[in-house]
Amino acid sequence: MPSQTLREEILQLKAQRKAVILAHSYQLPEIQDIADFVGDSLGLARQAQQAECDCIVFCGVHFMAETAVILNPSKRVILPDADAACSLEQSCPAAELEQFLKDNAKLNYYVIAYVNCSIGVKALSDVIVTSGNARKIVAAAPSDRPILFVPDENLGSWTAKQCEREMTLWKGHCHVHQQFSQEQILNLREKYPHAKVVCHPECREITRLLADHICSTEQMIPYCRHSEAQQFIIVTEIGILHRLRKLVPEKEFIPIDALSCSCAQCDYMKLNTLEKLRNCLRDMSPEVKVDESLRLRAEAPLLRMLEQS
């Protein structure tokens, strides 16, 4: 079906359902273009909490839609593809974290969880962070308790360094950011010697060492807009390039995979298509539902994050 017809169908269904479409910056360009709001995990969580509608359509991955339900339980939350998972979420099963906390109960860890985790992990945590606010939240953590940071070892090590705070790090990784290499950056630097390297904190430390700037996807936009540089090597998932080119059209953005065959694409994020977006609005399915007592336990650390950021 031509995408214009699909777009019209989606807009019609959206009005009928009194729905709001939220999309992460890693979504396909055509999904970003039809969304009411595009942003990073922090911005999307805020939008989900404040959404005044009957239904939230979450174009992202499952934990993001789940976060929307936790923060705004009176709304129905649907997503185009229920299989849109996340390797970071998978790297920290709630049962494993629970066992670890039991085994180390004496330490009385203050648990800080990156939002890329399941509702079960959130429910075991004291506070949640996103890549956009991790420094602020870690800086505000109680100084008399040891910190356990889950599940992203890379975001954890970067934040620990920024805040000069020791933390025990869970060994979880995002498979997309984990594969970016120094060699890829050095090859691009040779071709674009004046370009600034902008890197997401989910990247390995060895990669981050070559960055001119490290920040969340959303923070890349003002950085690139206000920088004197004209070209930027973007070391994160390629979806953000659409947003950068749209919002900062006068500058040039080079994806990290421009010269290599390894792809900077999150296949989970790319499971969502316009067609599946139309179908989920038409069928009101798949819908995210959560257990209420678990939701209440996961809500508290999320609210703490929103208060502190």
**Cα angle 81-83-87, degrees, rounded to a multiple of 5:** 130
Per-residue mark of binding to ligand 13P, 187-226 (x: CB under 6 A): ---------------x-------------xx---------
User: For residue 75, what are its two tokens?
Assistant: 């709304």
Cβ-contact 82, 276 below 8 angstroms: no
The residue count of the chain comes to 309
> Would you tell me which residues interact with ligand SF4 (CB under 6 A)?
61, 86-88, 116, 174-176, 202, 237, 266, 268-269
Cβ-contact 237, 264 below 8 angstroms: yes
Q: Is the peptide bond before 255 cis (omega within 30 degrees of 0)?
A: no
The one-letter amino acid at 111: V
Q: Applying CB under 6 A, which part among 15-23, 126-134, 143-151, 165-173 lies near ligand 13P?
A: 126-134
Task: Choose from ligand SF4, ligand 13P, none: what does 147 bind? Cβ within 5-8 Å by kind.
Answer: none
User: For residue 181, what are its two tokens?
Assistant: 């290499």
> Rounded CA gap, 119 and 294, in Å?
7
27 is an interface residue for ligand 13P by CB under 6 A: no
Nearer to ligand 13P, 40 or 299 (CB): 40
Q: Which helix (H) or strand (E) holds 59?
A: strand 55-59
CB of 118: closest distance to ligand 13P in angstroms?
Answer: 14
47 is an interface residue for ligand 13P by CB under 6 A: no
Q: Applying CB under 6 A, which part among 30-38, 127-135, 183-191, 293-301 lies near ligand 13P?
A: 127-135
Taking alpha carbons only, the member of 147, 149, 200, 153 closest to residue 172 is 153
CB of 15: closest distance to ligand SF4 in angstroms?
Answer: 29
Nearer to ligand 13P, 17 or 175 (CB): 175
Nearer to ligand SF4, 181 or 231 (CB): 181
Q: Applying CB under 6 A, which part among 100-108, 129-137, 157-165, 242-250 lies near ligand 13P?
A: 129-137
Burial class for 39, CB neighbours closer than 10 Å (0-12, 13-18, 19+): buried
> Rounded CA gap, 256 and 67, in Å?
29
CB of 88: closest distance to ligand SF4 in angstroms?
Answer: 4
40 is an interface residue for ligand 13P by CB under 6 A: yes
> Rounded CA gap, 133 and 121, in Å?
19
Q: What are phi and psi of 179, to 5 degrees?
A: -85, -10
Nearer to ligand 13P, 125 or 130 (CB): 130
Task: For residue 166, give the 3-state DSSP assignment.
Answer: coil
Counts for the chain of helices (H) and strands (E), in that order: 16, 12
Task: Choose from ligand 13P, ligand SF4, none: what does 130 bind? Cβ within 5-8 Å by kind.
Answer: ligand 13P
CB of 202: closest distance to ligand 13P in angstroms?
Answer: 6
CB of 130: closest distance to ligand 13P in angstroms?
Answer: 5
Task: Indicate which single residue of 131, 178, 272, 309 sits in contact with ligand 13P (rule: CB under 6 A).
Answer: 131
CB of 151: closest distance to ligand 13P in angstroms?
Answer: 12
The residues that touch ligand 13P, with contacts defined as CB under 6 A, are: 40-41, 116, 130-132, 174, 202, 216-217
